[in-house]
Structures are given as structure tokens and as C-alpha cells.
Chains A and B, each alone.
Chain A
Amino acid sequence: KAGVTQTPRYLIKTRGQQVTLSCSPISGHRSVSWYQQTPGQGLQFLFEYFSETQRNKGNFPGRFSGRQFSNSRSEMNVSTLELGDSALYLCASSRSPGTGGTEAFFGQGTRLTVV
């Protein structure tokens, strides 16, 4: 069973540009979450999608957006990139949350560098 696939693995962008990251969840998983990891702030929750609907959102500016497609694949977009957006972006997939929650499985991440 294939794991969570994130593309691209590495990306270098210039300030002011925009970027789109992609995540393909584990087959059968319908929930996709995105996280930003930086040395200073640690792992920060960006947003979560389930059945093409955003279910939860973290405390990030509107420049960060996402969406989920009918096949559960997800994309996140960052517009008007800033130097501080340089980070490892991690995607996680899980089954429906149920009543007690469920395990989340992570991809290898996309390392974004903004110059």
C-alpha cells in the first residue's frame, strides 16, 4: 500500500512569488491535513480537509490556502511568498475521524526555500 506522496520534494522560490504543493493521501483515506515545520515555531497546523471541505484551520494568514479534490488529493497554495515561509511543509492523511480520532500518516514533506 503506497504511503502519502508529496510533490515536489524541494522547491526554491523568490519573494513575492506563489507556490502550489501537492499531496496524495493513502488509498482509502479521506482526510488530509497540512503542517508547517520551522526550527523556531516547530510543527504548526495549517488546515485539514475531509470530503473536499475544510474542517479546521490554523492561525495562518490568508496567503495560505488549500483545497481537496474528489479523489482526496489535496493542494496547498501560498501566495506572495515571504522569507519566513521557508519551511518543511508536511501533509498527513487519515481515515474519517470517528468519535475518538484516528492515526495520521505523514508524507516526506516539501522543503520550501524562499530567497
Chain B
Amino acid sequence: SQQGEEDPQALSIQEGENATMNCSYKTSINNLQWYRQNSGRGLVHLILIRSNEREKHSGRLRVTLDTSKKSSSLLITASRAADTASYFCATGLVTGGGNKLTFGTGTQLKVEL
């Protein structure tokens, strides 16, 4: 079963606009990670935020985490056509001596010229 639900399921914006995707989850986590996937290929790691962090930046990406609301958001600023992809959040739990990731349902982002 999926841990996270992402909202919206699909998002279409114009190049240069900002895109915001939200992720909600249900149980305790150690970290939350965001990934991008192009056309059913492998996932590209974007950013990791730990449970004791509230905000993190990487280039045009800004991630927030609210553990009290069990939610996270990914903001892509000044979007480009190359940002068109599916975006997934994944909650990480350190358990059993490993780090188990549970993925959300994903948001399909389309950036139009």
C-alpha cells in the first residue's frame, strides 16, 4: 500500500511559472525524499529532508516538511519545459537495519512553452 498521497495528481503550467506539489503521509518517518521520473525511466533523486528539518533548498527546488501535519511540499521555481516529468515523494524509515522508502502516488507535471 502507498504511504503517501500526492496532490495534485496532475499539474499543467507555463514555462517560467512556479509549480507546487504536496505530499501527505500517515506514519512516523526519519526522512522524506523527492524524486523525478521521466517517461517510465529510472528515478532521479532531487532532495532529502530529515524529520528534524523544516525547510531545505537545492537550486530551484524548495522543500518543506511539517511533521505535525504529516505533510511536505515541493516548490519548483521558474519552471522550464525540461521539468516536465512525474514527481514522487518517498518517506524513509530507518528500520530493521535498513532505510525503507515508501512512495507516494506521484504528480505529473507538464510545463508548456
Taking Cβ atoms with an 8 Å cutoff, the residues of A that contact B are 4, 31, 33, 35, 37, 42-45, 48-50, 53, 55-56, 59, 88, 90, 92, 94, 97-109, 111
Contact = CB atoms under 8 A, between A and B. Distances in A.
Contacts of B90: 43, 104
For chain B, give the interface size range: 20 to 34
A25 B101 CA distance: 17
Given A100-B31, A101-B30, A101-B92, A56 B42 contact: no
B20 to A, nearest CB: 21
B75 to A, nearest CB: 19
Contacts of A111: 40
B44 A101 contact: no
Contacts of A107: 42
A99 B45 contact: no
Interface in B67-113: 88, 90, 92-106
A59 B2 CA distance: 12
B43 A31 contact: no
A106 B99 contact: no
B50 interface: yes
B106 A101 contact: no
B24 interface: no
B91 to A, nearest CB: 9
B97 A53 contact: yes
